[in-house]
Amino acid sequence: MRIAVTGSTGLIGSALVRSLRADGHEVVRFVRREPAAADEARWDPVRGYVDPAGLAGCGAVVGLAGAGVGEHRWTAAYKKEIRDSRVLGTAALARAAAALDEPPKVFVVGCAIGYYGDTGDRAVDETAPAGHGFLPSVCVEWEAAAAPAREAGIRTAFARSGLVVAREGGAWGRMFPLFRAGLGGRLGNGRQYWSYISLRDEIAALRHIIDAPGLAGPVNLTAPEPLTNREITAAMSRVLRRPAVLPVPAVALRLVLGEFSSDVLGSQRARPARLLESGFVFRDPGIEQAIRAAR
């Protein structure tokens, strides 16, 4: 199959491209600069431009582009970048795919469990409503931006990813060096739930969505049972054989991270009901398995 991917240089995107190519799929990587390789095509998400030649003949389009939510302090300007990079990019892809003479069969939008906001101890699945706050509002707009694709009859799925356990990037990419140095510890009181997923399960789940003809709408990409930050900290300590006795106080996180600290300290207990119902089998259902797969 010919598959278009945006965000192909990120943690998830680069791993997805490798996986698809290893199985013989043709991947077109959309880039914001001038294409420098035969497998690249141009797009400008802010201006709404997508090279139609890059999408031509694609059976699937996977949108994974977006400014990192934890890369910078949340100034007004950076919050706008977080929102625009997702909402405008998704809208541009959806319009371009819908306008093709032969549209793709599936459009996968890489969203996030940030959709649910802080759920506390309450477990949620894909039937739960959106939460309140900046990230939930971005996720709502993000998914709504795919409307042109849905209206054109393209099967559209929203891959709401949890925290990806990987040493190459994301939250865990920062945690691994700290724990290996014996400097790891819980964040805040440690009672907040983290919905995690190993990188290889994340990629397998994205490919499952591409291949499963009836899977559309929201799909949580998380391991079956979320754990508290305290439990995850203990698991990191066991697997890496390092102490984890240096908790990071909530006040320090708020000082360093600003508004983003509310999401680090918040609790999201999301479960992958639709993935499990569709027959997906996790390779790393437990936290220690996920950490071992990444280390």
User: What's the whole-number mean pLDDT along residues 110-117?
Assistant: 95
pTM over 0.85: yes
User: What's the whole-number mean pLDDT along residues 173-190?
Assistant: 83
Q: How many CA atoms lie within 13 A of 187 on its CB side?
A: 21
**CATH code reported for the domain at 2-294:** 3.40.50.720
At 256, the pLDDT band (50, 70, 90 cuts) reads very low
Mean pLDDT of the chain: 91
Strand 49-50 to 60-63 pairing: unpaired
Identify any residues that bridge with 4 across adjacent strands, giving them in sequence order: 28, 61
Instruction: Please say if the pLDDT value at position 265 is more than 70.
Output: no
Residue from 169, 174, 115 nearest 141 by CA:
115
Supply the pLDDT for residue 2.
98
63-73 pLDDT, tens digit per residue, is 999 988 877 77
User: What's the whole-number mean pLDDT along residues 173-186?
Assistant: 82
135-145 pLDDT, tens digit per residue, is 999 999 999 99
Residue from 18, 58, 53 nearest 38 by CA:
53
User: What's the whole-number mean pLDDT along residues 12-34?
Assistant: 97
Residue from 176, 155, 283, 168 nearest 232 by CA:
176
At 57, phi and psi to the nearest 5? 80, 0
DSSP letter for 129, please. Answer: P
Supply the pLDDT for residue 252.
47
Domain range list for the chain: 2-294
